[in-house]
Structures are given as structure tokens and as C-alpha cells.
Amino acid sequence: MEKVATMDRYIANFSEQLSEAYAIGQKIEIKNIHQPIKNILVCGLGGSGIGGNIVKCLVKNELSVPFDVSKDYNIPKYVNRETLVIISSYSGNTEETISAMEQAIVQEAQIFCITSGGKVTEVAKKRNIDYVTVPGGMPPRTCLGYSFVQQLFVLHHLGFIDYDFQSDLLSTINLLDREEGAIQKEAKEVAANLHNKIPVIYIDSEMEAVAVRFRQQLNENSKILCWHHAIPEMNHNELVGWRINDDRLCVILLRNKTDHERVQQRMEINKEVFKKYTPHITEVNSKGETQMQRMFYHIHLGDWISFYLAELRKVDAVEVDVIDYLKGALAKS
């Protein structure tokens, strides 16, 4: 049963969640995972899976082993006893993730679970698999902080990252608290620009996970379709698709002062192309001195945008009836 709360309360409490996740992570115990580990796979979907994408963006230049994220029933054949599989299922009952966990067990992977309970916890206890329990009862998409932070603690505990992510996390929390008013103000303005439009989100490929998160929040909270792409890859295919005048389209450029110099140039040139086909172009610049700060500034801003757009559309940002219908129909088969 989900706690009775409105989406704005969940979003407003995000920095508190990060702080709580930090406290939980400091107490993580890992007893059954041993070196060597030659690759890492995070298994999770939706709000439980996006944390893996964000971690990958953040630490890929720190890691000396491959790091992948799987959002499927099946896992790659390469997974074996030298693979760390992180199972991320907030509810603990995500059927695709449970399937992946069962395969990881068969393929003798070393497993760590992040969950609030459910079948994942049951299997972990039965199989003597390490796990951490996070607070339950909320929509998974509002619990990004729990999965993201626990993954960082696991990677640090096992020696895969050595940068001071804990100080980075605390400074990120301080940034979000300090900028909360400004973030909400800007979110309302951007939401107004997006009302009755189809958002087209672009970002530097180094931070693509942030755009994925924003798209997902617009889908689930605002109940709209939209799409995203990353630059420079977008310039090698999607740019050619800009051929039809359509003022329903609203381009959103998620920008950072540390974006690759050539990507910044590409964005400026791309804007000239977009202007030929839509008058609606919105640029959003992150704040922060570290990549984590900039990523979570964009993420928190995007969450607020999705809420304010839901208000403009007069829809319940929490409701996901169609997903509940899908799960019910699958349960009958």
C-alpha cells in the first residue's frame, strides 16, 4: 500500500531522501561478495532501474571494469561468478527483475540486492545473498535516491570507486536545498512552455541518463508522450528528421557548463536548424561545481517540471492506472 501523499510532497522531500539513503548506505554490510569481479551488471526497470543509468554516467571514468544496465527478463551470457549483479527492485516484486535475479543465480554471479522487501528479499534470505532494505510504500519513481546512493556505497565498499562520493553527495544535498526556491520557480516557467506541446529533449551524451529520467517523469507524472536524444549521436541521424514545420514541438536543451566544447558548438548550430521548424526552444542550464551536483540539479528540476505540467493538464501525477492494468492482465496469464 502506497503512503497517502501527493507528488509535490514526494519531490519536495527528495533531498531528505538522499540524506536518509546516505545514512542507510553507511551501514551496508557485504559478506558474500569476493574478488575477482571483472564486470558489473545492474538489473532494474523504471524508477528502480534509472539509478543504474545515472550511476554509470557518474562513475564510468572511475571504473576499470565494464558496467552495464539491463532492463529485461534476461541477462547477458557473459554473466558468471566473476560478475557483480546488482538487483534493484524497489517493490521487490518486479517480475522482469526477479527473472534476471533467478538467471544470475543459475549463472553463479555474485549478487547484491537493493529493495524494500517482496520476493527479492525472500530469495536473498533463502540464498544467503547480500541485500540492503530501503523504506517502502512509495511510487518507485519517487525513490531514485535510495537506489542511486546504495549503488555508490556498494561500488565504493568493493573498491571500484575511490573518489569522495560521500562529500559530493552531501554537497549535492546542500545545493538542492539552497536552490529549491529557484528550481521551483524555473520549473513552473518551463512547464508553462511545455503545456500543450510535445517535448523533444536533447543533452550531451555524457549525461544522457538525466534526459532519460526527465522523459520518464514526463511520461508518468505529466501523462504525455515525448522523446529524447543525446548529442553528438543525434547529429548523425535525428537531425535529418527536422523537415516539417510543427509548432506543437518544444525543444528542451539540457545544458551544463562542462559539456564538451564541440557539443556546445553543435547545440548552437542545432538551434538554428530547430528555429526553421518550431518557435519553441527552451534552454535549461544546470548549477553546481561537480558532475553529481549538476546531474541532480537537472533531475530535481525535471521532476518539478513534470509535476507542474501535470497540474496544468489537470491530471493526477501519482496515478499510474494503465501500468496497474498491465500488471493485472499479466498476472492472469
Active-site position among 31, 236, 314, 332:
236
> Among residues 84, 58, 121, which one has the least CA distance to residue 293?
58
DSSP SS3 for 284? strand
Which residues does 23 contact at the CB level (< 8 Å), separation at least 6?
A: none
Does the 182-313 domain belong in CATH 3.40.50.1860?
no
Cβ–Cβ < 8 Å for 296, 169 = no
From CA 109, how far away is CA 309, in angstroms rounded?
Answer: 43
pLDDT, tens only, 160-213: 999 999 999 999 999 999 999 999 999 999 999 999 999 999 999 999 999 999
Domain 7-163 and domain 182-313, same fold? Reply is yes
> Letter for the amino acid at 48?
S
Q: For 205-239, write each residue's pLDDT tens digit.
A: 999 999 999 999 999 999 999 999 999 999 999 99
| 127-170 pLDDT tens trace | 999 999 999 999 999 999 999 999 999 999 999 999 999 999 99
Residue 32 contacts residue 130 (beta carbons within 8 Å): yes
Higher pLDDT, 92 or 35: 92
Residue 225 CA to residue 220 CA, distance in Å, equals 9
Helices (H), the chain: 7-12, 14-25, 46-59, 95-106, 118-127, 144-157, 165-194, 208-220, 261-274, 291-313, 321-332
Q: Single out the residue of 23, 26, 55, 17 nearest to residue 157, CA to CA.
A: 26
Q: Pick the catalytic residue: 3, 185, 257, 327? A: 327
Q: How far is CA 137 from the centre of its chain?
A: 19
Q: How confident is the model at residue 119 (pLDDT cuts 50, 70, 90)?
A: very high
The predicted structure's pLDDT at residue 5: 76
Overall fold of domain 7-163: Rossmann fold (3.40.50)
Give the span between the Cα atoms of 44 and 21, in whole angstroms: 18
Give tens-digit pLDDT for 296-307. 999 999 999 999
Q: What is the pLDDT of residue 284?
A: 98
Boundaries of every domain in the chain = 7-163, 182-313
Q: Per-residue confidence at 4, pLDDT binned at 50, 70, 90?
A: very low
156 is an active site residue: no
Are 30 and 112 in contact by the 8 Å Cβ rule? The answer is: yes
What confidence category does residue 35 fall into, taking pLDDT thresholds of 50, 70 and 90? confident
Q: Taking the chain, what is the end-to-end CA distance rounded to the nearest angstrom?
A: 24
Which residue in the list 56, 206, 220, 229 is annotated as catalytic?
220
Q: Catalytic site residue 220?
A: yes
pTM reported for the whole predicted model: 0.96
Residue 332 annotated to the active site: no
Using 50, 70 and 90 to split pLDDT, how confident is the model at 55? very high
Strands 39-43 and 67-70: parallel
Average pLDDT over residues 94-103: 98
- Work out the percent of the chain whose per-residue pLDDT is above 70: 99
Q: 273: which 3 cell numbers?
A: 536548424
Q: Is the bond preceding 36 in cis, omega lying within 30 degrees of 0?
A: yes
Is it the case that residue 1 has pLDDT exceeding 80? no
* Residue 250 host element (H or E): strand 249-255
Q: What is the DSSP letter of 117?
A: S
Instruction: Please tell me whether residue 286 adopts helix, strand or coil conformation.
Output: coil
Per-residue pLDDT, 3: 43
